[in-house]
Every structure is written in C-alpha cells, then in structure tokens.
Amino acid sequence: MAALKNDRLLRALLRQPVDQTPIWIMRQAGRYLPEYREVRAEARDFLTLCSTPELACKVTLQPLRRFDLDAAIIFSDILTIPDAMGLGLYFSKGEGPRFERPVRTESQVAALGVPDPETELRYVMDALRLTRRELDGQVPLIGFSGSPWTLACYMVEGGASKDFALIKGLMFDQPQVMHRLLEILARAVTAYLNAQIAAGAQAVMVFDTWGGALSHRDYRDFSLSYMARIVEGLARENEGRRVPVTLFTKGGGLWLEAMAETGCDALGVDWTVDLAKARMQVGKQVALQGNMDPCVLYASTARVRQEVDEILKAYGRGSGHVFNLGHGIHPTVDPEKVAVLVDTVHELSRPYHTEEE
C-alpha cells in the first residue's frame, strides 16, 4: 500500500498534533453531487450501486475530486448486515429501506446467523480494497457499520419508524429476546468491521442513528453496552499504525462521558451538543467529531463561514477535533457551499494549531 500523504484525520482522532483541523462530511458521496446522480442512474437502483465494487469505489472518490477533504468514507449502507442475514432488503420510493422478512419472534431471532464478511459481504471488502488502491495514499479511508441497536430497529420494525412501537414493545416485554438479537448483531458488526480493517479501512465508525430514541437507562442497556463490546473486539492496529474507532449516537449528548468509557478513540456529536462543554467533559479521553447543523449549508456563504468560525472557537486550541456535520448532508445542498465549508475549515483552523497544548 502507498504511504499516506495526508494523515491529518488519523492524527486528530488520536489527539495528536495537526497543522489544521481535518474535515470530512457524513454522506459526502451522495445525491447532492450531479456526478453521483449520473452513476446512480447508470446503476438503476441503490442496492446495485452499493453491491458493485467498481461503482462503489467510483462514487467514494467523487467528492475528493471536488473538495480538499481529509478522508474518504467507503460508499455503502448501514443495512448490509441484516441484508446478508437474509431479511430481503429493498428500497421503496418515498419510504426508504424496507425488509421483506422482519424479525419479531424468538424463533426468528434464533434462526439468525453471523454473516461471513468475506462471502456474504465480500462486495464491501472488494470495494474497500479497490478504493484503497485508487486512493494511492491521498487520504485515509474510513469504514463503518450501523450499531446493533440501530440495525435491530430496522430489522424489527421492517423499515424506518417514527415511534419505534414494535422494537420497544419487544424490548419491554421480552428483553431476553431483544438482548439475544443485539448479541448476535454485536458479533456480526465486530466481524464486519475487523474485515473492513483487514481490507484497508484505516479508521472505523459505528453509527448509532436511533440510540437517541431510548431512555437514559435503556440506552446504556440496549445500545451502549453492545457498542462497548464491539470496541473491545476490534483490531486496533493494522499496517503498523493505530486504527481509530469513532462512536456516534445521534441525540446522544447526554451520554458522552459513558460513551468515552468504552475505550473508543473519538465521539461523533450532533448539532444539539455544545462542543465546548463536550470537550470539558471528555476532551482528555477522546477526540470529538462534528458538529455543524447540515442546514447551515442552505445559508449564505458569509453565514457558512461564520458558523465554521463559531464551531472552531467552541472547540478551542489544540488537536482532537475533526470537523463534520452533525449528521448527513442533505441531497438538495449546493456543492459550492460544501467547497466553501471545506476551505473555510482549513483556513480558519490553522491559528488553533500553531502551538499545541
């Protein structure tokens, strides 16, 4: 593998000195880019795009040709694991992801197996290997998975949900069944992320999209405890350097200290979190990633620059901050605003790194 020319992201995730704050963007390869829409039309459907390594590699690299980003993230979907478990993933127009065969009974849970990442999910590993070669050391490549709780939400509900009635009903009435499902998923996610690391991912991230829907006690029992198992089971070094692990719970600002105790290297934070307070809570333990409201990108160029300035000020001097949105970029954002965001982060962050703490 080619030597890494820009390792800012990896250094910041490990709270090591950098010359400027690194930035990448959740869903940076996506529908807001006209070139992505062209490839998506060529693939005909989203699942074909995800499961064709050459196409997944192509769209992974697209934002790097437009913007001075500090990382690539492999183009994939969080629902690859339940799809590989045979639940019949499909995408319904206007409704998002759906499963033909939801998991709602003890017997259905018992029938689930942990997919082999190099067989049922080989297309993801092939996409990672191909993308690493094509990147040629330009920037690090991030791998990712959904959290066990988030995957379970889709598997039990059969798709996206507003009230989580089915999964919470299962959780409250049959907690032993819920824990069995989450235990299987934790093993699957651990194997999946370790395979991604072996295939070339230089950092990995766990997306706990729906953890914020849980109560304080239930979050710890049904989401965080399983992410902690995953962190414990991951390969933390490859190719002679540390592989940073980031945990992100959307709506998880109340649990940052508990999340930091898992042994992860970094925490993603959404825009509801005060970055200065978050750093005071966990700054010596973990790096922080975030946390601009994606809708700021609909505002004027001047307002985007102002928001970048305020977020950088909130984090303050020194390393340990990766600039990102508080969640994924919206499909109708103007790519020119993204260029402003990326360039402004690099420009305005340099003074914060002149003398590391």
* Residues with catalytic roles: 27, 31, 40, 77, 154
Is 209 annotated as ligand-binding?
A: yes
Is 221 annotated as ligand-binding?
A: no
Is 30 annotated as ligand-binding?
A: yes
Among 58, 64, 59, residue whose Cα is nearest residue 5: 64
Is 154 annotated as ligand-binding?
A: yes
Among 97, 86, 85, 122, residue whose Cα is nearest residue 46: 97
For residues 109 and 184, the answer to whether their CB atoms sit within 8 Å is: yes
Is 179 annotated as ligand-binding?
A: no
Determine phi and psi for 15, rounding to 5 degrees.
60, 35
Q: Locate 112 and state its tokens.
A: 């689930």
Residue 323 carries which side chain, given as an amino acid letter? Answer: F
Three-state SS for 341?
helix
Is 187 annotated as ligand-binding?
A: no
Q: How far is CA 8 from the centre of its chain?
A: 18
Is 28 annotated as ligand-binding?
A: yes
For residues 127 and 200, the answer to whether their CB atoms sit within 8 Å is: no
Q: Which residue is it, tokens 């492999």?
A: 74
Beta bridge pairs of residue 242:
237
Is 303 annotated as ligand-binding?
A: no
Q: Can you list the alpha helix ranges (DSSP code H) found in 28-164? A: 34-43, 46-51, 53-66, 80-84, 106-110, 122-135, 148-157
For 14, 103, 209, 299, the CA distances from 293, given in Å and listed in that order, are: 24, 34, 16, 11
Query: Distance between CA 47 and CA 37 in Å, rounded?
Result: 14
Is 327 annotated as ligand-binding?
A: yes
Q: How far is CA 253 from the centre of its chain?
A: 16
Cβ-based neighbours of 108, under 8 Å, separated by 6 or more: none
Three-state SS for 253?
helix
Rounding to the nearest 10 degrees, give the CA dihedral for residues 90, 91, 96, 100.
-30
Which residues line the annotated binding site? 27-31, 77, 154, 209, 327
Which residues line the annotated binding site for substrate? 27-31, 77, 154, 209, 327
